């Protein structure tokens, strides 16, 4: 049976895609689903050259309690750059066919797959091939992660336009690191403005999570806050009827 899934992209790097992906994995596991995670391309990895460790992928695997590390993050680079640039400097390549093969293998093991992109939709993976191209080949709907402060309207609408032009299905937008006290006027007004201008559903917002630490794979209160503040069923779309895989 083909697994359901979601592709999590962002309006920029470091907007919180990994936190959102991990939060979703924790909540779906709590619902009894067997959740798979994937970080197809990872840059800024550390460790020995032949065994580079992608920190984001390790965090996601811990959240989902996954195995199959080689399938989870098949394309790894040391330099924290766009993958096409990192690949050139490190004399490697982003092997798209291998990524898709790994994705297909993961589908056999899990009910629902959460795939986290690198940067945003227009990050080049290789010449004339972007993250958006990979999403189309995987056939997944996308969830956009954005910040809510000044500049969010422009960055989010550009991401929405890029997705629509390329025929991608938009499931919704989540705002990350939203202040819960002393919030700015931009944070207060931007989500509604973005929804009104784009028509894309706003599925919730996340504050900074106490006890969350990617370096040590500590999730703090992420699961509880995600359950409380995010419309998980709308992320899942029509796949909420799935029975857990035994």
| DSSP state at residue 216 | T
| DSSP state at residue 214 | T
Q: Which residues contact 121 (CB under 8 A, 6 or more apart)?
A: 9, 130, 131, 132, 135, 142, 159, 162, 163, 166, 168
Q: Which residues contact 154 (CB under 8 A, 6 or more apart)?
A: none
Is residue 39 among the annotated active site residues?
Answer: yes
Which of these, 100, 18, 86, 23, lies nearest to 52 by C-alpha position? 86
Q: Output phi, psi for 80, to 5 deg.
A: -80, 70
Question: What is the Cα–Cα distance from 156 to 243, expressed in whole angstroms?
Answer: 34
**Which parts of 8-151 fold into alpha helices (H)?**
17-30, 55-64, 69-72, 83-89, 96-107, 131-138
Choose the catalytic residue: 17, 39, 126, 127. 39
Known catalytic residues are: 39
């Amino acid at each position: 049976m083909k697994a359901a899934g979601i592709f999590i992209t962002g309006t920029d790097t470091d907007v919180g895609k990994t936190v959102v992906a991990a939060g979703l994995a924790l909540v779906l596991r709590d619902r009894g689903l067997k959740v798979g995670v994937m970080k197809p391309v990872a840059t800024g990895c550390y460790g020995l050259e032949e065994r580079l460790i992608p920190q984001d992928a390790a965090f996601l695997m811990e959240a989902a309690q996954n195995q199959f590390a080689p399938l989870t993050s098949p394309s790894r680079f040391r330099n924290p750059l766009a993958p096409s640039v990192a690949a050139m400097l490190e004399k490697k390549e982003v092997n798209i066919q291998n990524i898709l093969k790994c994705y297909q293998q993961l589908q056999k093991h899990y009910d629902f797959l959460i795939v986290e992109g690198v940067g945003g939709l227009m990050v080049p993976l290789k010449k004339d091939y972007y993250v958006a191209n990979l999403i189309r080949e995987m056939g997944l709907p996308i969830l956009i992660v954005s910040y809510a402060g000044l500049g969010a309207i422009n960055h989010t609408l550009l991401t929405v336009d890029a997705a629509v032009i390329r025929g991608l299905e938009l499931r919704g937008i989540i705002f990350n690191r939203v202040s819960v006290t002393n919030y700015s006027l931009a944070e207060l007004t931007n989500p509604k403005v973005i929804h009104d201008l784009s028509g894309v559903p706003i599925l919730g917002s996340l504050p900074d999570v106490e006890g969350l630490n990617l370096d040590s794979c500590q999730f703090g209160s992420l699961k509880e806050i995600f359950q409380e503040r995010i419309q998980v069923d709308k992320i899942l779309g029509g796949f909420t009827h799935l029975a857990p895989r035994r």
